[in-house]
Structure 1
Amino acid sequence: MKVKKLAIGAAMLLFVTEAYAESSVTLYGIMDTGIEFYNHAKTGGSVYGMPALTGELPSRWGLKGVEDLGGGLRAVFNLESGFAPGTGGLNYGGRLFGRQANVGLGNRFGTVLFGRQSNMTYYSVVNADILGPALIGLASFDPYLANARSDNAIGYMGKFGGVTIGATYSFGRDSATVPGPGGTGCAGQVPGDFQACKQVTAMVMYDTANYGASVSFDQMRGGASTDFGPLVSSADKDTHIQATAYYDFSHGKFAGGWIHHNVNVGRSYHTDLYFLNGTYLPTPFLALDLVGAHFNVSNPSNIGGVIENGAIVPGSVAPATSNSTMITARATYFVSKRTSVYAMLGYMINSRNGAVALTGGGTVQTGANQTGGMVGIQHKF
């Protein structure tokens, strides 16, 4: 009888443990590619082909999971890999899980994550940037906006009513050894210099059913001989400040914002990006987007150089002042819940010293206006 009672008790304990330890793992992804074109390439003429970096959204696959630990506590993880559909090659500095690689704990007070993760610059702009990390979008002006992630980071985000607060701290913001939009090569601190490659981001966001706004701060430090850009010392700083807002209505959204970027390496330069955009859904199957953005560069010290594919061209010198204006239109037709086709067309107006390419990963002749676009297909799974 005693053995029977023990067996029943063990079975009940197992049942309770399983009930509290419910878990799930989800495989998901996006395949997005097509054909791009643009004129006035840096070497002259026009370019036609498949983009390596992004389409309407960057292609990726991932695994995410959650385990209920009981008492409102849960364990979470996310592994996410970005790739180029045209070649199957890895993006984000050639890393297998270059988009996300983190694990953490969460409850009603928020979630704490450890590992490579999106930082607050990403979350601050995501509700206001209608085009997102598309081939032609805000990342054409500042590639970091589409790659706002931090290695070796501790992150927190909590939502309290309509207010969301979040922050990240990175001990070494980027270990990539391949230069480009997804890699800046600043792996970590060194003995006696805890500031090397450090990054701190913070955000406050307010959302309701119809409107919202956010502000964020992002500062990264350099490291000796590790950065692919001008940040070569832990005293060097790269700072982003953002303010965005949006309004939702029954058939669409209006949004806008300001993004200030300052680089201080003893001398300093800064850029200001202003944008307004909107989307309209005349039917549930069709989305029409229109974006206008203006970009000012103030670089009196001629710091850095011309940026192509997210990296500074060796030996080049950035112009002292310039400005560029972009207008982009996009139409997306939803064939099903998972599959859509789209077309986007953009026009970039560069000042005499301006050299902002219209498309992500593209090139342009200094002072040239540029027309480009893309037609593509996207499937989510």
Structure 2
Amino acid sequence: MKKAFLAMTAIAAACGASGAFAQTASGVTLYGLADIGIEAINHVPGNSTGGNTAVRMNAGNLSGSRWGLRGTEDLGNGLKAIFTLESGFDLDTGMSAQGGRLFGRQAYAGLQGNFGAVTLGRQQTALYDLFGAYDPMGANPRYSLAAVDSAFNGRADNAIKYTGKFGGLTAIGFYSFGRDNNGEVPGAAKVARNYGLGLAYAAGNLSIGTAYDQYQGATVALQDRSAKRAAIGASYAFGDAKVFGGFRWLRDDGTASATATITRTNVYWLGGQYRVMPALLLTGAAYYTDNRNSSADPWMFVLSADYSFSKRTDVYLNIGYAKNKNGSTQGLSGSGSTFVAAGENQTGATIGLRHRF
């Protein structure tokens, strides 16, 4: 009886201690964003050779829809425990995005202090973290730099990441043991390995940044093949206007399959924004892809108007034109034959609503 009483007392004490520790959390924030619109677009792959015109509802146009939890705990002496769980979803269907993952946008925990932050989990790459600031369209899901190269919306599973901010300087470095739910194969450490780094500096009206990203093939047979990217971008603000420009280099040794050949492309972009009034922002951008091993070199042009009803709610109109030649497949929502019929130009327009909470 005495032993039972002592055991119950120990359990009660442990529960009490656990509750006491839980109360030290500094706070958890629920946040999110909902973005949806109607698009009219031509030359979408379908039954006809040159594609079809589609009028459709699209979610995640200016920003990917998401909800998330973000929390911190003050550990003392300037040290904090941090976490983020962020779930992407398609507002038009209610289904999870990022391949059906529950927290496909981000899922990590770590420590933060004067040295910066070290985090572990599924995280954004340095290209994603930095280059939204150097694309006039913010490297958003459609009608933007991310439609030219989806790596600008890149994420890596199983990643350890360092982020440091010191005045105007931001430094990022990450290493993934296996991206896209691949890798971590015993005896084959290269499989799906992904790593990169980035630096950005902002001073006054000028901001400039650079980043490198490399990943290996996702199978044992492809682990010695790599895709390497390097990019540099800049922006400069003056008055109510802001200009942007950048360059991205790519060499892919054939990471997609055993029969894939070496791919080399350069991407160039230029654009600007002008705030007509506090609530109205106009944006224009041009993107050019130079395929080094072919003459299939497409252009993409975008015009956008965004009107804010408040700090949390805005409406927008995006108009885009992709000019393809010699079989290139640059679409307004992405690059590839699933987005536009090969060699066909594409014109599209989207009107939508975005709300933050």
TM (normalized to structure 1)? 0.82
One of 170, 173, 188 as aligned partner of 1:167: 173
Give the AA of the match of 2:213: D
Does 2:37 match 1:34?
A: yes
8 Å contact 2:27–2:72 — kept in the other structure? yes
Q: Distance in 1 between matches of 2:291 and 2:40?
A: 26
Q: Distance in 2 between matches of 1:360 and 1:336?
A: 30
One of 298, 301, 325 as aligned partner of 1:351: 325
Does 2:341 match 1:365?
A: yes
Query: Which secondary structure does the structure 1 equivalent of 2:127 belong to?
Result: helix
Q: Which residue of 2 aligns with 1:124?
A: 130
One of 136, 141, 148 as aligned partner of 2:143: 136
Q: Is 236-245 or 131-140 further displaced after alignment?
A: 131-140
One of 306, 329, 336 as aligned partner of 2:303: 329
Give the AA of the match of 1:379: H
Does 2:347 match 1:377?
A: no
Q: Distance in 1 between matches of 2:55 and 2:261?
A: 39
Within 5 A, what are the aligned runs for 1:1-381? 21=24, 23-43=26-46, 44-51=51-58, 54-132=60-138, 133-146=140-153, 148-175=154-181, 187-224=182-219, 233-265=222-254, 267-299=261-293, 320-360=294-334, 363-381=339-357
- What do residues 196-227 of structure 1 show as CA deviations (whole Å, max 9, x unaligned)? 111111011111131111111100011327xx
Give the AA of the match of 2:343: G
Give the AA of the match of 2:127: T
Superposed structure 1 runs of 4+ greater than 3 Å apart: none
- What do residues 225-261 of structure 1 show as CA deviations (whole Å, max 9, x unaligned)? 7xxxxxx511010111110111122313211100112
Give the AA of the match of 2:292: S
Give the AA of the match of 1:290: G
What runs of 5+ residues in structure 2 fail to find an aligned partner?
Answer: 1-16, 255-259
Q: Distance in 2 between matches of 1:197 and 1:218?
A: 13
8 Å contact 2:128–2:152 — kept in the other structure? yes
Q: Distance in 1 between matches of 2:356 and 2:87?
A: 14
- What do residues 80-112 of structure 1 show as CA deviations (whole Å, max 9, x unaligned)? 000001110011011000000000001111100
- What do residues 31-68 of structure 1 show as CA deviations (whole Å, max 9, x unaligned)? 0001011112222220110125x211110000001111
8 Å contact 1:350–1:369 — kept in the other structure? yes
- What do residues 257-279 of structure 1 show as CA deviations (whole Å, max 9, x unaligned)? 00112101395211111001111
Query: Which secondary structure does the structure 1 equivalent of 2:152 belong to?
Result: helix
Q: Distance in 2 between matches of 1:134 and 1:90?
A: 15
Shift of 1:283: 0.9
Give the AA of the match of 1:108: N
Q: Distance in 2 between matches of 1:201 and 1:234?
A: 17
Shift of 1:134: 3.8
Q: Distance in 1 between matches of 2:28 and 2:173?
A: 26
Shift of 1:160: 2.2
Shift of 1:189: 2.4
- What do residues 103-145 of structure 1 show as CA deviations (whole Å, max 9, x unaligned)? 0001111100000011111123121112121421112221222
What's the C-alpha RMSD, in Å, of the aligned pairs?
1.9
Q: Distance in 2 between matches of 1:93 and 1:87?
A: 14
Q: Distance in 2 between matches of 1:40 and 1:174?
A: 30
Q: Distance in 2 between matches of 1:82 and 1:172?
A: 21
Q: Distance in 1 between matches of 2:35 and 2:91?
A: 7
8 Å contact 2:266–2:290 — kept in the other structure? yes
TM (normalized to structure 2)? 0.87
Q: Distance in 2 between matches of 1:137 and 1:204?
A: 22
- What do residues 322-379 of structure 1 show as CA deviations (whole Å, max 9, x unaligned)? 1111110000110111110110101111112211112248622222111101000011
8 Å contact 2:141–2:147 — kept in the other structure? no
8 Å contact 1:120–1:218 — kept in the other structure? yes
What runs of 5+ residues in structure 1 fail to find an aligned partner?
Answer: 1-13, 176-186, 226-231, 300-319
Q: Distance in 2 between matches of 1:37 and 1:87?
A: 18
State the aligned residue count. 326
Q: Which residue of 1 aligns with 2:9?
A: none
8 Å contact 1:242–1:257 — kept in the other structure? yes
* % identical equivalent positions: 38
